[in-house]
Structure 1
Amino acid sequence: KVIVSDFEFPTNAQIWHAQEPRGARVVHVPRTADGYIPLAEFAKAIDERTQLVAVTHVCFRNGAKLDIAGIVRLARAQGAKVLLDCYQSVGSLDIDVKALDVDFAAGGMLKYLLGTAGIGFLYVRDAFVKSLLPTNSGWFAQENIAAMDITANRPSPTARRFEAGTPAVVNSYAAEAGLKFLLEVGTPAVEKRVYSLTRRCMTRLEEIGWPSVTPAQDERRGATVAVPSRDSAQLCAELMKRDIVTSHRDDNARASFHFYNNEDDVEAFIAAMKQLRGKFAP
């Protein structure tokens, strides 16, 4: 039994549904009427049959952040492992996988880590590095890469066993440059800045009569502010004409913030939204 939530990016759910022919039973934890998924909903789904809880940190649709520490506690009580998809949060929030006590964490360099597509990462708890044997392997996963041995699979005793073939070399340089920026600034400072800007943005949206659907509490949101619209695609196109880069998912326009943004960026977004409210607000 694998638990996912209704906040997942498609890939994170599709991967587990792809295991159903092998006997996996995939259970979705639904959102409640207010659009959030509280711990009580996870408690209903996680039981003694659960092998893995694979959940996102921040929802790509509405910017809501799940209570990962609480979900881990529920999983531990039933003997289940936890895989955290932190793609939508890492780089914008201060994340400590050991403090969260997750068993696995995966993400990519494309978004808030300021890198590019085609390169990602996997964290595996030390206790599972040697006991888990990947069935998807490659020469960079082998104990001796230079052996060029085609007679057997001899995975590295280290976390390198979870690698595959030749890495995306060019992408690695972009990833390194992005990480350098973030390490210089520090993720605690980044998180503080992100919460300040998103809080200001949400308050200002309330003031112009076009409230966000993203949870207001800091502990329940990430770097994205989602705004409902009758035509979110065209709204984003109109914002782009004003040099404001957003994106849309479902019926929401998404404005995401990072440490390099400032209050003027928020006010420019609000001014544009105020102008466009009559045409695009629900």
Structure 2
Amino acid sequence: MDIEALRRETPGTTGRVHLNNAGAGLMSRQTLRTITAHLELEAAIGGYEAADQEQARIGATYGNIAELIGGRADEVALFDNSTHAWSAAFHALEFSPGDRILTGRAEYGSNVLAYLQTARRTGAEIVVVPDDAAGRLDSTALAALIDERTALVGVSHVPTSGGLVNPVAEIGRITRAAGVPFLLDATQSVGQFPVDVREIGCDMLTATGRKFLRGPRGTGFLWVRSDALDRLEPFGVELESASWDGGRGFTWQPGAQRFATWEMAYSNVLGLDSAVRQALDLGMDRIGERALALGDLLRRRLDVLPGVTTHDQGTQKCAIVTAKVDGIPTADVAAALARQHINVTTTVAGHTQFDSEVRDVHPLVRLSPHYYNTEAEIDRAVEVIAGLSR
């Protein structure tokens, strides 16, 4: 990669160090131009007319997303965020008293709240699969827990609160063998390193545009394996997702379109497509290699600082790095970095509730570099933290 050229095409790299890509990545000039150009077109000729004029480019978004994750265009539905995409998939499943939802300790907070609500409403049971010695979801324990009562396995590929990468391909092998639906939250992994739904073997996958994909906020998508559709009844139905039969009935649209909504911000959709195409052009193998290397460099540099402890679990760790400085509140660490124009954020116990039951580590400062960051920026962040830890 020509990192300097990529940075010249990323306005946000000027004047600050952006280590908050797990929150929202920096958009490229091309993505920004794509979004603003469509907004200008809407202002000039009308919103409906602009969508009609750009119909081919809007339609191409589905195929580009499918190429990114190894699926098909008709298996993709667009949403305004990953949580809504995840909710659409989860609430399309039917749960009864005694059904079991198996998940991991790293599950994202909004997903956990949905599990809790469903358990309250239906009498289903939530089962948290133990971690292995490295802190990953224990696939052996998962296999032992799956039985005829298991209605879903729901897992976060990468948690919001650390560098863990769960063994999702092994989870997929287990769920396929058992015939159990597997819903994968890939919000923090798509765009950070290669993600292939065929290799993983999940039935449903959700992701966002705003994080490591570097797309605009207000974008997300759902991928649904075609042969999983007969298990799913979308919770909501509207004109884009179904067709009226002329009487008192309707039929679902084919493929993932049955999860679609009619109204979308097409400027954002085109911005998402621009970001996806940029990832495809650069190559997810190269993106992943550099992002993970920068995360590893940052983690190793922090690990040798006196009074600083990193808290990332797993055997393979990604570009999300979490740490704590002895004797200094995490909010003060983040504020010190912000004063030096270094963007980071902090973790919250309520965002990974099951993890917080066994690890009393939050809040932590969360630093998340991406491929357009430089080694010098890593050094700068470490230098600021080192000054606090002395």
In 2, distance between residues paired with 1:274 and 1:216? 25
SS of structure 2 residue aligned to 1:179: helix
In 1, distance between residues paired with 2:167 and 2:147? 18
In 2, distance between residues paired with 1:150 and 1:92? 48
Is the 2:293–2:319 Cα contact (8 Å) retained in structure 1? Answer: no
Q: After TM superposition, give the deviation of residue 30 of structure 1 in Å.
A: 4.0
With over 3 angstroms needed to count, the CA separation of the structure-2 counterparts of 1:17 and 1:62, relative to structure 1, is same
Say if 2:214 is the partner of 1:114: yes
Q: After TM superposition, give the deviation of residue 31 of structure 1 in Å.
A: 4.1
Residue in structure 2 matching 1:4, options 88, 100, 103 = 103
Q: What residue number does 1:160 align with?
A: 257
SS of structure 2 residue aligned to 1:154: strand
Residue in structure 2 matching 1:134, options 234, 245, 248 = 234
Quick check: which one's helix share is greater?
Answer: 2
Say if 2:369 is the partner of 1:273: no
Q: After TM superposition, give the deviation of residue 118 of structure 1 in Å.
A: 2.2
Residue in structure 2 matching 1:252, options 351, 364, 370 = 364
Is the 1:110–1:116 Cα contact (8 Å) retained in structure 2? Answer: yes
In 1, distance between residues paired with 2:314 and 2:125? 34
Q: What's the C-alpha RMSD, in Å, of the aligned pairs?
A: 2.2
Q: Which amino acid aligns with 2:342?
A: I
Q: Alpha-carbon deviations, 1:36-94, whole Å to 9, x = none?
A: 43324434433332121010000111221110111222323433111100001110010
With over 3 angstroms needed to count, the CA separation of the structure-2 counterparts of 1:195 and 1:94, relative to structure 1, is same
Is the 1:51–1:79 Cα contact (8 Å) retained in structure 2? Answer: no
In 1, distance between residues paired with 2:116 and 2:125? 8
Say if 2:373 is the partner of 1:261: yes
Q: Which amino acid aligns with 2:345?
A: S
Say if 2:319 is the partner of 1:226: no
Equivalent pairs, count: 273
Q: Which amino acid aligns with 1:242?
A: Q
More displaced, 149-158 or 70-79? Answer: 149-158
* Unmatched tracts of structure 2, length 5 or more: 1-99, 348-361
Residue in structure 2 matching 1:192, options 281, 289, 313 = 289
Q: After TM superposition, give the deviation of residue 125 of structure 1 in Å.
A: 0.8
Q: What residue number does 1:206 align with?
A: 303
Q: Which amino acid aligns with 2:183?
A: L
Q: Alpha-carbon deviations, 1:240-280, whole Å to 9, x = none?
A: 111111110022111101111121111111111111124xx
Q: What residue number does 1:13 align with?
A: 112
Q: Alpha-carbon deviations, 1:2-34, whole Å to 9, x = none?
A: 112121111111222221212322112244676
More displaced, 154-163 or 29-38? Answer: 29-38
SS of structure 2 residue aligned to 1:19: helix
With over 3 angstroms needed to count, the CA separation of the structure-2 counterparts of 1:129 and 1:143, relative to structure 1, is farther
Q: Which amino acid aligns with 1:5?
A: G
Q: What residue number does 2:223 align with?
A: 123
Q: After TM superposition, give the deviation of residue 112 of structure 1 in Å.
A: 0.8
In 2, distance between residues paired with 1:5 and 1:192? 26
Q: What residue number does 1:49 align with?
A: 149
* Unmatched tracts of structure 1, length 5 or more: none
With over 3 angstroms needed to count, the CA separation of the structure-2 counterparts of 1:265 and 1:38, relative to structure 1, is farther
Q: What residue number does 1:241 align with?
A: 339
In 2, distance between residues paired with 1:216 and 1:206? 16
Identity over aligned pairs, percent = 27
Higher relative contact order (CA 8 A, sep 6+): 2
In 2, distance between residues paired with 1:216 and 1:54? 18
Q: Which amino acid aligns with 2:226?
A: D
In 2, distance between residues paired with 1:26 and 1:117? 31
